[in-house]
């Protein structure tokens, strides 16, 4: 069972400060709400409890001094922001929850926070979230989340900040379910010293390849990868492989991200030409794209 | 009189032979109550036992009563555990049952468990204690890993069926598939669709090669099209197939070999899986559609729109269809025109909040009911429903035995009239005389419960959420539904009055679940006192509340002693979750801290 602690610096009820810390820290942490064990412990707070959180001054209230999980904090402040979380915490029909929602919305408008959070708050898909509703199994709920994530990322970089944040938090939530950290070794061909990367800190192949590029750009200094950003598919030099449970080397990118995380043990970056010789067959478009990403040494 | 005395002179073997024609377990339960002699004969000859609530009887008592047991079915957690309403570590442990069977029932061949917690050690014990073990079916279970599966594969010499549905299995690697014996296996049915991790594809292919009796095979998402094609070529007699990932390139060899392999499978009747299905792979399926009786597309959000329509219009013999609501009313209309034999339909939500342009509405349901009059089982998720639609549906399909409608927004009225949906659901119970399972949603008053109590005489299981006005609603149901076995209620305004209206009723039922209702500790205590043959269990989170009070300066004693909690403080506290069930096993010995038996 995971409990993530944090303390807000400013002790003000519904203060913008709290919103900010939530926006920066907690959005990137993601919510542990998908982790059922953790979630259950904190989730079903009765309406009465919510009132007690809200009405007591923060400095005096022992509740704030306790270790409070991120998820219950989320429930208190932002149950309507993260309405896409499959398991929510607040009975929306309780008077306290509705008071809370009104207070949270007012605080948003008052404090005039950054556009991100207001977008999230004004999300038309806002709907009250109830524990265990609708009555579908968690395997189906996670399928729905995956599907929504995919449609968000498919929209590309033009998608609103809102859907990206939602996708990140959903993926973050799914990740937390899998493992807390997943450090794997990354070895580049020709170098005896490798690096380590935390795969659980990424939610997609794009993010992983970006991170690897950054890591190995500096690693290699100026010699092997040209700083010329106009590398195209034909010039792609490197290929990303991974080693699985059985010791086989497999090209990265074929299986869904979550499945990849389950089976990956190590990563290898090899040169395109040598890998081609070993493979024998032609390389598909998706693979070329992967190598392309690697070569594209963006900041 | 003559007949009665004649029965006494029948030798036991004859009576036993007569009993062997009784397979329905309620019938067998009844004959065992006739007299001591029949009880003894029945229990020694009983082969199949069904235990609907694993806490209704102690495992060793059940094992001792039926030493000749060959098949055992067990159910553990309450149904609402599927929706995260029951905390983890609640119970439902399979270990004590397997141990008791190991001691007393060496002939065990089949074990089916639903919503139970099974450990790897229990699985090891299972395959070592029962030399004839043949079939393991686990539905919605948890607590075990692929190591446990390896133990089953390795040690169970005559395994015929390994069926894993919707379980939470810890993935410790794909090696378990290698553990099956090297010579020919006796496998008839293998389902590992719920496994989330990778599988060893070579091992899978080899396993299929040496399993000539395989009729049902359901793969998980990690199995690609290439492997599927190879497998299909190996078993053209397959009747039930769950595909792996159906992502394939049109010009790839895999796709081509899949098409030819599928065409050879003349006996294929049921298809599921369809993970990541590309429209091209669907094309491969068209040739076999005409013979399909079962189709499960509920894990395939990519199959929608015209792709779905093109596929379904060939499936003229379909009996069971599970889809996502992204097929839309249009898709359902095509189903209605093509699948005239349809008996079971399940429509799952693809988006929990926004009613997108393509999701289903009441029109889709009406279309289905018009086109498929044989429909008897329905599970339908939608964003809104009207009374008139429900009335039409019930007129068109009077044969419903299972009717579950879930309107995604709680307490939503009929959008056309703004009225509650009492009349619509009432029409369903009035016309469907054989209704056994019923789930209702939307805005509902006590009136719907009046109808249910009055008309739903065959009803066995009722699920209610966000419905009703007063205690009278629940009372109507308890008084009226003579055959009620399971009642589960959440977020309804039923209080102690309803709970205590007819306490003897609960002895005729398997269980009652009430969560987020208006019942108090006082009411629950009263029930427990009046009915000692029931286990009245509450699941509480008051411990945390007490800690808070302490910090606030209110003097309370924090302890894990249940009695102190139950008797300390006031009885007017609302009970968040109540689970009541009849039992001859007494209070649970394995109840965790948060479960209090009153």
What pLDDT, in 10s, does the model give residues A144-189? 877 766 665 544 444 444 444 444 444 444 444 444 567 888 888 8
**A189 CB neighbour count, 10 Å cutoff:** 13
Helices (H) and strands (E) in chain B, counts: 23, 23
Two tokens at A269? 């970056």
- Give buried/exposed letters for B430-455 (b at 16+ CB in 10 A, else e): bbbeebbbbbbbbbbbbbbbbbbbeb
Measured in angstroms, the CA of B562 and the nearest CA of chain A are apart by 19
- Give the three-class secondary structure for B111: strand
Per-residue DSSP letter, B524: H
Give B576's contacts in chain A (Cβ within 8 Å). 44, 46
What lies within 8 Å, CB to CB, of B212 at 6+ separation is: B184
Interface contact B210, partner A, CB < 8 A = no
pLDDT of residue A98: 57
Q: Distance between CA atoms of B238 and B269, rounded to whole angstroms?
A: 9
Q: Enter the pTM of the model.
A: 0.70
Residues in chain B within 8 Å Cβ distance of A242: none
Residue A10 has pLDDT above 80, yes or no: no
Cα(B389)–Cα(B394) distance, integer angstroms: 9
B334 CB contacts (<8 Å, ≥6 apart)?
A: B308, B309, B312, B313
> What are the structure tokens assigned to B66, written together?
């039926």
Chain CA centroid to CA B296, Å: 16
Kindly give the confidence (pLDDT) of every residue in chain B, 598 residues in length, as a single tens digit, with 9 standing for 90 and above: 555 555 567 788 888 888 888 888 888 888 888 888 888 888 888 899 999 999 999 999 999 999 999 999 999 999 999 998 998 889 999 999 999 999 999 999 999 999 999 999 999 999 999 999 999 999 999 999 999 999 999 988 889 999 999 999 998 888 899 899 888 889 999 999 999 888 999 999 999 999 999 999 999 999 998 899 999 998 889 999 999 998 877 677 888 888 888 888 889 999 999 988 888 788 888 888 999 999 999 998 888 888 899 999 999 999 999 999 989 999 999 999 999 999 999 999 988 766 666 689 999 999 999 999 999 999 999 999 999 999 999 999 999 999 999 999 899 999 999 999 999 999 999 999 999 999 999 999 999 999 999 999 999 999 999 999 999 999 999 999 999 999 999 999 999 999 999 999 999 999 999 999 999 999 999 999 999 999 999 987 665 455 445 444 433 333 344 455 566 667 788 889 999 999 998 899 888 888 888 8
Which B residues 45-84 touch A at CB under 8 Å? 80, 82-84
Omega into A134 within 30° of 0, i.e. cis? yes
Q: Which of A91, A125, A263 sits opposite B516 (nearest CB)?
A: A91
| DSSP-derived pairing of the beta strands B71-75 and B48-51 | parallel
Asked if B551 lies within 8 A of A52 by C-beta distance, the reply is no
Tokens coding B546: 């007490």
Question: Cβ contact (<8 Å) for A133 and B196?
Answer: no
Q: Which of B375, B578, B385 is nearest to B487 (CA)?
A: B578
Query: Three-state secondary structure along chain A?
Result: CCCCCCCCCCCCCCCHHHHHHHHHHHHHHCCHHHCHHHHHHHCCCCHHHHHHHHHCCCCCCHHHHCCCCHHHHHHHHHCCCCCCCCCCCCCCCCHHHHHHHHHHHHHHHHHCCCHHHHHHHCCCCCCCCCCCCCCCCHHHHHHHHHHHHHHHHHCHHHCCHHHHHHHHHHHHHHHHHHCCCCEEEEEECCCCCCEEEEHHHCCCHHHHHHHHHHHHHHHHCCCCCCCCCCCCHHHCCEEEEEECCCCCEEECCCCCHHHHHHHCCEEEEEEHHHHHHHHCCCCCHHHHHHHHHHHCCCC
Cα–chain-centroid distance for residue B349? 18
Closest CA in chain A for residue B405 = A135
User: Which chain A residues touch B574 with a CB distance below 8 Å?
Assistant: 46
Question: Are B322 and B298 in contact, with CB atoms under 8 Å apart?
Answer: yes
Tokens of B301: 């959000």
Q: Do the chains contact at B84 and A40, CB–CB below 8 Å? A: yes
Which residues of chain B lie closer than 8 angstroms to A39, CB-CB?
A: 84
CB contact under 8 A, B87 and A40: yes
A-proximal residues of B, 476-515, CB under 8 Å: 490-491
**Residue A264 and residue A244 in contact, taking contact as beta carbons nearer than 8 Å:** yes
Residue B183: closest CA among B203, B221, B211: B211
How many interchain CB pairs under 8 A, A with B? 113
For position A106, what pLDDT does the model report? 60
Q: Is the pLDDT of residue A110 over 70?
A: no
In degrees and rounded to multiples of 5, residue B463 shows phi and psi of: -120, 125
B433 vs A77, residue with greater confidence = B433
B301 touching A, CB under 8 A?
yes
- Nearest 5°: the CA angle A156, A161, A162 is 110
Q: Are B328 and B364 in contact (CB under 8 A)?
A: yes
- Which helix (H) or strand (E) segment holds residue B298: the answer is none
Measured over the CA atoms of residue B331, residue B334, residue B338 and residue B344, the dihedral's sign is positive
Cβ contacts of residue B290 below 8 Å, gap of 6+?
B314, B315, B316, B317
Contacts of B459 (CB under 8 A, 6+ apart): B429, B435, B436, B437, B438, B452, B481, B483, B484
Residue of B79, B81, B84 to mutate for A, most A C-beta atoms under 10 A:
B84
Residue A33 has pLDDT above 60, yes or no: no
- Are the Cβ atoms of A132 and B222 closer than 8 angstroms? no
Element (H, E) at B344: strand B344-348
The sign of the torsion formed by the CA atoms of B517, B522, B525, B527 equals negative
Helix (H) or strand (E) holding B354: none
Predicted pLDDT of residue A74: 37
Instruction: Establish if B570 touches chain A: CB-CB under 8 angstroms.
Output: no
Residues near B563 by beta carbon (within 8 Å), at least 6 away in sequence? none
* Among candidates A36, A133, A259 on the partner chain, residue whose Cβ is nearest the Cβ of B221: A259
Tell me the residue ranges of DSSP E strands in B84-215.
110-114, 135-139, 142-145, 161-165, 168-170, 189-191
For residue A65, the model assigns a pLDDT of 38
Residue B413: CB partners within 8 Å, gap ≥ 6?
A: B419, B420, B421, B442, B443
Which residues of chain B are within 8 Å of residue A179 when distances are taken between CB atoms?
none
A132/B194 CB distance under 8 A: no
pLDDT digits (tens, 9 = 90+) for B325-335: 989 999 999 99
Query: How far apart (Å, rounded) are the C-alpha atoms in residues B277 and A16?
Result: 46
Q: Is B177 on the interface with A (CB under 8 A)?
A: no
Those residues whose C-beta lies under 8 Å from the C-beta of residue A277, and which sit 6 or more positions away, are none
> Which of B90, B194, B198 would you mutate first to test chain A, the one with the most A CBs within 10 A?
B198
Question: For residue A239, how many C-alpha atoms fall within 13 Å in the half-sphere facing its CB?
Answer: 23
Please check whether residue B69 is in contact with residue B46, taking contact to mean a CB–CB distance below 8 angstroms.
yes
Check A144 against B221: CB less than 8 A apart. Answer: no
Work out the minimum CA distance from B82 to partner chain A, whole angstroms: 6
Q: Cβ neighbours of residue B180 under 8 Å, at least 6 residues apart?
A: B153, B154, B187, B207
Cα(A9)–Cα(A25) distance, integer angstroms? 13
Q: Are residues A134 and B541, on separate chains, in Cβ contact within 8 Å?
A: no
Please name the residues between 354 and 393 in chain B that touch chain A, using a CB distance below 8 Å. 354, 381
Quick check: helix, strand or coil at residue B335? helix
Kindly list the residues from chain B whose CB atom is less than 8 angstroms away from the CB atom of residue A255: 198, 222
For residue B506, the model assigns a pLDDT of 95
- Report B:225-284 residues touching A (Cβ under 8 A): 249, 276
Compute the average pLDDT of residues A94-113: 55
pLDDT at residue B259 in the model? 86
Structure tokens belonging to residue B32: 């065992």
Distances (CA, A) of A84 to A33, A34, A199, B281: 11, 11, 24, 31
């Amino acid at each position: 069972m995971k409990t993530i602690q944090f303390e807000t610096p400013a002790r003000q009820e519904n203060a913008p400060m709290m919103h900010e810390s939530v926006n920066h820290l907690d959005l990137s942490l993601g919510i542990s709400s998908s982790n059922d064990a953790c979630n259950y412990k904190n989730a079903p707070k009765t309406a009465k409890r919510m009132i007690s959180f809200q009405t007591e001054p923060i400095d005096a209230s022992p509740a704030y001094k306790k270790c409070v999980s991120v998820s219950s904090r989320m429930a208190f402040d932002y149950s309507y922001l993260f309405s896409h979380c499959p398991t929510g915490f607040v009975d929306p029909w309780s008077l306290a929850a509705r008071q809370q929602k009104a207070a949270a919305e007012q605080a948003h408008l008052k404090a005039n926070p950054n556009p991100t959070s207001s977008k999230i708050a004004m999300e038309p898909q806002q709907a009250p979230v109830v524990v265990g509703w609708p009555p579908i199994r968690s395997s189906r709920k996670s399928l729905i989340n995956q599907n929504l994530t995919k449609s968000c990322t498919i929209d590309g970089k033009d998608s609103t900040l809102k859907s990206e944040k939602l996708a990140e938090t959903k993926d973050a939530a799914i990740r937390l379910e899998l493992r807390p950290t997943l450090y794997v070794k990354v070895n580049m061909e020709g170098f005896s010293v490798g690096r380590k990367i935390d795969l659980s800190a990424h939610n997609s192949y794009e993010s992983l390849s970006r991170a690897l590029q950054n890591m190995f750009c500096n690693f290699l200094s100026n010699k092997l990868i040209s700083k010329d950003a106009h590398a195209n598919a034909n010039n792609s030099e490197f290929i990303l492989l991974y080693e699985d449970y059985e010791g086989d080397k497999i090209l990265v990118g074929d299986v869904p991200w979550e499945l990849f995380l389950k089976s990956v043990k190590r990563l290898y970056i090899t040169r395109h030409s040598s890998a081609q010789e070993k493979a024998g067959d032609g390389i598909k478009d998706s693979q070329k794209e992967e190598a392309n990403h690697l070569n594209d040494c963006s900041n | 009189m003559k007949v009665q005395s004649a029965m006494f002179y029948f030798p036991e073997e004859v009576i036993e032979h007569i009993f062997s024609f009784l397979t329905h377990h309620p019938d067998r339960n009844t004959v065992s109550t006739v007299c001591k002699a029949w009880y003894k004969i029945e229990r020694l000859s009983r082969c199949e036992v069904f235990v609907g609530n694993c806490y209704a009887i102690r495992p060793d008592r059940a094992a001792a009563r039926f030493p000749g047991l060959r098949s055992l079915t067990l159910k553990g957690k309450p149904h609402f555990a599927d929706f995260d309403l029951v905390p983890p570590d609640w119970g439902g442990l399979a270990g004590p049952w397997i141990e008791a069977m190991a001691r007393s029932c060496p002939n065990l061949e089949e074990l089916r468990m639903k919503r139970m917690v099974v450990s790897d050690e229990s699985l090891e014990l299972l395959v070592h204690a029962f030399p004839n073990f043949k079939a393991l079916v686990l539905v919605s279970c948890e607590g075990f890993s692929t190591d446990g599966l390896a133990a089953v594969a390795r040690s169970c010499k005559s395994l015929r069926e390994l069926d894993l549905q919707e379980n939470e299995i810890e993935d410790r690697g794909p090696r378990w598939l290698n553990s099956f014996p090297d010579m020919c296996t006796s496998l008839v049915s293998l389902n590992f669709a719920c496994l989330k991790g990778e599988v060893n594809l070579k091992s899978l292919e080899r396993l299929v090669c040496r399993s000539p009796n395989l009729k049902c095979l359901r793969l998980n998402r990690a199995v690609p099209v290439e492997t599927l094609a190879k497998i299909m070529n190996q078993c053209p007699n397959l009747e039930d197939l769950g595909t792996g990932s159906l992502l394939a390139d049109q010009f790839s060899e895999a796709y081509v070999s899949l098409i030819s392999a599928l065409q050879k499978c003349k006996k294929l009747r049921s298809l599921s899986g369809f993970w990541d299905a590309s429209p091209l792979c669907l094309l491969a399926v068209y040739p076999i559609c005409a013979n399909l009786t079962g189709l499960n597309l509920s894990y395939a959000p990519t199959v929608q729109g015209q792709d779905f329509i093109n596929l379904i219009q060939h499936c003229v013999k379909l009996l069971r269809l599970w889809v996502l609501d992204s097929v839309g009313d249009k898709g359902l209309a095509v189903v209605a025109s093509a699948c005239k034999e349809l008996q079971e339909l399940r429509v799952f939500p693809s988006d929990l909040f926004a009613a997108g342009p393509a999701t289903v509405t009441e029109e889709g349901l009406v279309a289905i009911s018009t086109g498929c009059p044989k429909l008897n089982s329905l599970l339908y998720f939608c964003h809104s429903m009207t009374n008139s639609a429900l009335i039409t549906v019930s007129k068109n399909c009077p044969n419903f035995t299972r009717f579950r409608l879930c309107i995604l927004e709680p307490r939503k009225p009929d959008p056309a009239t703004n009225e509650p949906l009492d009349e619509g659901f009432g029409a369903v119970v009035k016309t469907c005389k054989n209704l056994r399972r019923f789930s209702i949603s939307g805005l509902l008053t006590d009136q719907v419960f009046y109808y249910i109590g009055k008309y739903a005489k065959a009803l066995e299981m009722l699920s209610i959420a966000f419905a009703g006005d007063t205690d009278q609603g629940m009372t109507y149901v308890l008084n009226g539904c003579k055959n009620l076995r399971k009642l589960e209620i959440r977020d309804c305004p039923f209080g102690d009055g309803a709970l205590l209206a007819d306490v003897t009723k609960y002895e005729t039922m398997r269980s009652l679940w009430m969560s987020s209702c208006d019942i108090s500790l006082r009411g629950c205590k009263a029930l427990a006192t009046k009915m000692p043959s029931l286990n009245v269990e509450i699941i509480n989170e008051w411990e945390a509340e007490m800690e808070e009070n302490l910090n606030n300066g209110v003097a309370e004693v924090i302890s894990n002693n249940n009695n102190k909690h139950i008797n300390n403080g006031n009885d007017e506290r609302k009970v968040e979750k109540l689970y009541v069930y009849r039992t001859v096993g007494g209070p649970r010995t394995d109840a965790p801290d948060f479960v209090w038996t009153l």
